[in-house]
Amino acid sequence: MDGNRRYAKNHSIALKEGHKHGADALVRVLDCCFRVGVKNVTTYAFSIENFSRKPEEVDTIFSLLKYKLAILSNENQMCDLHNVRVKIIGNKSYLPKDVLDDIEMVEEKTKHHNKHILFIAFPYTSRDDMWYSINKIIEKFNNGEILIDEIDEKLIENNFYYEDSSEKVDILVRTSGHTRLSDYMLWQCHQDSVIEFPNTLWPNYKFYHTWWTIFRWSYYKTLMIQDAETMQLKKVSREQVNKRYKDIPKIHPPFASVNKA
């Protein structure tokens, strides 16, 4: 969710208002994802590096997290309506007690929901996640709970902050035009993951950006099994898929003018 501060600057509003618009954008995007059938969503809400920001800004982001968590998990709100379980992933040892209490409350309140999972990475980095997993495995090995032969890819994944839900990423979106991953999803991205860097600041990211990204991905997946000309079911080569994927416009023409505005 990149671009909140630039959005605030562009609109001459306070920095905390920029983050507030960012948090609102997240709710809109999540609603769209769950409506169109995306199973699980992870949002990179706060990286461990973000602690180097001014304490007032860190406090603002913490308060927004608490506020939005309370709303999302309220009766008849998003978690209820879309049957979403919330899980916070990341190094919780960095978090103050009041934030931890709220996290525990929302995880407990939504634990029976089983259609979607919303992972909120807070505070998170991929390297810290891998380090956490390796440490847990070493501990289990030292306690005699696992044998050396049992250490494999699956075991490493099962010991991430995600625990048993470490599915591979289908689509990764980083907004604002920066083309870097910032220590995110380094393990979870695989050979078929689609990575998008839309040139849109996060608070401007609307449902139609979300919908179009998901639509393009679905089309890309279809190409894997269906020849677009003959409509025959067959596997086309990765080169053909990639070429066709590049041909799909990034922003659908009807949305182009809306996007510009």
Ligand X SMILES: CC(C)=CCC/C(C)=C/CC/C(C)=C/COP(=O)(O)OP(=O)(O)O
Residue 70, both tokens: 């309370």
- Please state whether beta strands 194-196 and 171-173 pair in parallel, antiparallel, or not at all (unpaired): parallel
| 2 among known catalytic residues | yes
Q: Which residues of 181-198 are buried (b: 16+ CB within 10 A; e: fewer)?
A: eebbbebbbeeeebeebb
Work out which of 16, 17, 38, 43 binds ligand X, going by CB under 6 A: 43
Please identify which residue in 32, 99, 120, 251 interacts with ligand X, judged by CB under 6 A: 120
Which residue in 1, 95, 99, 251 binds ligand X (CB under 6 A)?
1
CA nearest to 91, candidates 140, 57, 125, 116: 125
Which range in 31-39, 42-50, 88-96, 215-223 contacts ligand X by CB under 6 A? Answer: 42-50
Stretch that binds ligand X, among 15-23, 101-109, 124-132, 184-192 (CB under 6 A): 15-23
Biggest alpha carbon–alpha carbon distance for the chain: 62
Buried/exposed 87-103: b ≥16 CB within 10 Å, e otherwise: bbbbbeeebeeebeebb
- CA gap 150, 103 in Å, rounded: 33
Is 26 one of the binding residues for ligand X (CB under 6 A)?
A: yes
Interacting span for ligand X (CB under 6 A) from 2-10, 33-41, 92-100, 212-220: 2-10
Active-site annotation holder among 10, 24, 40, 50: 50
Give the number of residues in contact with ligand X, rule: CB under 6 A.
20
Q: Under the criterion CB under 6 A, does residue 30 sit at the interface with ligand X?
A: no
3 versus 223: smaller Cβ distance to ligand X: 3
Burial (0-12, 13-18, 19+ Cβ within 10 Å), 246: exposed
Tell me the catalytic residues.
Answer: 2, 50
Point out which residues bind ligand X (CB under 6 A): 1-6, 19, 22-23, 26, 43, 45-46, 50, 61, 64-65, 68, 120, 176
